[in-house]
């Protein structure tokens, strides 16, 4: 017989009816002979009651946490109501009780709040995922994917798949390699993204493509990065940047409304890469709070401060309500600045009519007053190059916002970052690298040819609350421009033919103008569910050291498997 209700449905309107429930035991209590059982499924909880005279009493006494049971009974009104839960006004008086399966004592508390360490939670992930909070993360992920998918289908996009086993085209993060048994010594590569395949779809004439794509990058991990991740991959022909922005904004507006009932206003703000670095010190600015960076280079010109002398730039930011800032706190913040490429951190604090700080002995009263500091304002200053100053102050801004609780909750601020540099130059290797990837179109091919340091890209990122949640570009569709790009990156004809020969050939056959963007699904879910750990929204994630605690992988393989692949493992 099929159960009649899930464990969140029953209320006072059901009193007197017979019900049939199934689920896991969340908790049992024996109160003076009365046995109470909290029955849990993915929807919620229902309290069962078994009285001493009940024929099922001996069975109920055997029940422990996480047993799987089924129960039939009559809905009755609770004496002691719990108005904090949907079923808190009723309970089920059991007349039939069956233990479907027993359970060992679980190694972690299966409830929203658990004291288990992360390694334990990952080792027993199937138990961790029974916790309602964890199930909510994955259910929200499902709802987000379905909303995005529906918007794209409604806009005429086709959901098409691309291969997982592809060709290694190393340019950026490391590839995960898969040895071939049929071709000993040769390897497939797992895709870092479906970049080339989706461009081939455009060449093939599909015009509008998307895919919920699994991607793989062998790189050092962070709290918002995993070795395997999911992209919502999107590409379209005959588009410009504003067309791509429009469809992505429609996706975000629809998804936030459908999943969170949150109104998101479009169009989103647009900011150039240079302005973002100038004002926020990062290409992922968090617009939920101010504390902008300001250039103080001219102010300190002619003032003999050893820390600032011979440095090309001095920039700073002002923390309001910084009354608790002490020398010890500044020392801690200095270490944070140095970890993010800053040479040093100076400060000036104004409080109760007087100035304190590390550089006030070099400044007269008039100069101090012209800093325009308000009561309990602290000015932090970093000298150095534009890149180093921006990076370190950008990191300091985020650290201060977190420490002083400056970030409002339940606020979503989107921004587009565009007008990116096309290339970055590696001084050690004396060569250019693509800032995004080698298929990104330059704004002007002549500038790329004659002055590659100044070349700008038709590239754009979408940022939400300080996280990059998507990036894309208009692609190169002209074979001559693509050849120029490869030349600028220092790739020989042999390199190009070996890595991208099939793609270069494809460009010869009427490639349409096209562009697109890939949304980072894991980060979007993380932000929409208000967690700061990306592992929470991935069903079976890896640790920060890229290890699967549950499966115990990576692991050794049998010698027979290595022999079949004609591989030898070094010691």
Cβ neighbours of residue 293 closer than 8 Å, sequence gap 6 or more: 278, 279, 280, 281, 315, 316, 317, 390, 393, 394, 397
Asked if residue 89 belongs to a known ligand binding site, the reply is no
User: What is the Rg, in whole angstroms, of the alpha carbon atoms belonging to the chain?
Assistant: 30
Cα separation, 213 vs 159, whole angstroms:
10
Rounded to an integer, what distance in angstroms lies between the CA atom of residue 410 and that of residue 332? Answer: 29
How many Cβ atoms from other residues are within 10 Å of residue 423's Cβ?
24
CA distance 406 to 287: 11
DSSP 280-349: HSSSS--TTS----EE-HHHHTT---TTTTT-SEEEEEEESS-TT--HHHHHHHHHHHHHTT-S--EEEE
- The annotation status of 138 as a binding-site residue, yes or no, is no
Q: Does 558 appear as a known binding residue?
A: no
3-state secondary structure 499-557: HHHHHHHHCCCCCCCEEEEEEEHHHHHHHHCCCCCHHHHCCCCCCCCCCECCCCECCCC
| Cα dihedral: 451, 453, 454, 458 (round 10) | 110
State the Cα–Cα distance between residues 436 and 184, nearest whole angstrom.
33
171 labeled part of a ligand binding site: yes
Q: According to the annotation, is 387 in a ligand binding site? A: no
231 assigned ligand-binding residue: no
φ/ψ bin of 372: left (φ > 0), alpha (ψ from -120 to 50), beta (otherwise): left
- H or E stretch covering 102: none
User: Is residue 214 part of an annotated ligand binding site?
Assistant: no
Q: Is 217 annotated as a binding residue?
A: yes
Contacts of residue 441, defined as CB under 8 A and 6 or more positions apart, other chains included, come to 457, 458, 473, 474, 475, 476, 477, 481, 515
Instruction: Please state, as a whole number, how many other Cβ atoms lie within 10 Å of the Cβ of residue 553.
Output: 10
Cα-to-chain-centroid distance, residue 148 = 16
Q: Residue 257: name the closest of 412, 135, 469 by CA.
A: 412
Q: How far apart are CA 520 and CA 485, in angstroms?
A: 27
Decide: residue 376, CB within 10 A, 0-12 exposed, 13-18 middle, 19+ buried. Answer: middle
Residue 566: what are its φ and ψ, rounded to 5°? 55, 45
Which helix (H) or strand (E) covers residue 243, if one does?
Answer: helix 241-260
**226 has binding-site annotation:** yes
Give the integer Cα–Cα distance in Å for 220 and 544: 8
CA torsion angle for 353, 359, 362, 364 (degrees, to 10)?
A: -20
What's the rounded Cα separation, in Å, for the pair 103 and 475? 55
Q: Which long-range contacts (CB under 8 A, 24 or more apart) does 265-270 make?
A: 268/414, 268/415, 268/416, 268/462, 269/414, 269/415, 269/416, 270/245, 270/415, 270/416, 270/418
DSSP class of residue 453 equals G
Annotated ligand binding at 521? The verdict is yes
Q: Which residues are annotated as a binding site for ATP?
A: 217-219, 226, 468, 520-523
Q: Which residues line the annotated binding site for L-aspartate?
A: 171, 217, 436, 475
Annotated binding site: 171, 217-219, 226, 436, 468, 475, 520-523
């Amino acid at each position: 017989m099929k159960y009649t209700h899930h464990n969140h449905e029953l209320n006072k309107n059901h009193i007197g009816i017979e019900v049939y429930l199934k689920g896991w035991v969340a908790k049992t209590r024996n109160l003076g002979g009365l046995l109470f059982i909290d029955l849990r499924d993915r929807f919620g909880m229902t309290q069962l009651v078994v009285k001493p005279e009940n024929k099922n009493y001996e069975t109920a006494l055997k029940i422990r946490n996480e047993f799987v049971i089924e129960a039939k009974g009559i809905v009755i009104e609770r004496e002691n109501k719990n108005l904090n839960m949907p079923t808190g006004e009723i309970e089920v008086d059991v007349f039939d009780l069956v233990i479907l399966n027993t359970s060992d004592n679980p190694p972690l508390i299966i409830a929203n709040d658990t004291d288990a360490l992360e390694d334990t939670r990952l080792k027993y992930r199937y138990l961790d995922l029974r916790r309602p909070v964890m199930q909510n993360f994955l259910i929200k992920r499902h709802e987000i994917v379905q909303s995005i998918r529906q918007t794209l289908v409604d806009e005429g996009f086709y959901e098409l798949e691309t291969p997982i086993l592809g060709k290694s085209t190393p340019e950026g993060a490391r590839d995960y390699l898969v040895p071939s048994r049929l071709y000993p010594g040769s390897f497939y590569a797992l895709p870092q993204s479906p970049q080339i395949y989706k461009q081939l779809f455009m060449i093939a004439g599909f015009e509008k493509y998307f895919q919920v794509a699994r991607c793989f990058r062998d790189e050092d991990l962070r709290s918002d990065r995993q070795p395997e991740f999911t992209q919502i991959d999107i590409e379209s022909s005959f588009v410009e940047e504003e067309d791509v922005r429009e469809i992505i904004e429609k996706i975000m507006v629809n998804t936030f409304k459908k999943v969170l009932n949150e109104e998101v206003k479009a169009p989103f703000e647009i900011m150039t890469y240079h302005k973002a670095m100038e004002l926020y010190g990062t290409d992922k600015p968090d617009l939920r709070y101010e504390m902008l960076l300001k250039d103080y280079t001219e102010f300190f010109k002619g003032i003999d401060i050893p820390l600032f002398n011979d440095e090309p730039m001095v920039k700073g930011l002002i923390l309001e309500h910084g009354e608790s800032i002490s020398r010890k706190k500044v020392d801690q913040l200095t270490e944070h600045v140095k970890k993010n490429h800053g040479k040093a951190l100076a400060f000036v604090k104004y409080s109760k009519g007087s100035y304190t700080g590390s550089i006030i002995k070099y400044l007269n009263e008039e100069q101090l007053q012209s800093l325009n500091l308000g009561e309990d304002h602290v000015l932090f200053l970093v000298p150095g190059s534009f890149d180093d100053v921006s990076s370190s102050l950008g990191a300091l801004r985020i650290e201060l916002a977190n420490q002083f609780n400056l970030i409002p909750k339940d606020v979503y601020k989107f921004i587009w970052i565009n007008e990116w540099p096309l290339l970055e130059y590696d001084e050690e290797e004396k060569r250019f690298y693509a800032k995004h990837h080698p298929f990104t179109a330059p704004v002007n091919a002549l500038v790329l040819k004659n002055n590659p340091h100044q070349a700008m890209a038709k590239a754009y990122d979408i940022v939400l609350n300080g996280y990059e949640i998507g990036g894309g570009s208009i692609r190169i569709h002209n074979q001559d421009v693509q050849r120029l790009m490869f030349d600028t990156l220092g790739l020989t004809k042999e390199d190009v033919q070996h890595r991208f020969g099939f793609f270069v050939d494809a460009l010869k056959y009427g490639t349409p103008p096209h562009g697109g963007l890939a949304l980072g699904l894991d980060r979007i879910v993380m932000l929409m569910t208000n967690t700061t750990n990306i592992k929470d929204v991935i069903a079976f994630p890896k640790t920060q050291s890229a290890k699967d605690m549950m499966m115990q992988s990576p692991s050794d393989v049998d010698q027979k498997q290595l022999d079949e692949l004609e591989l030898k493992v070094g010691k």
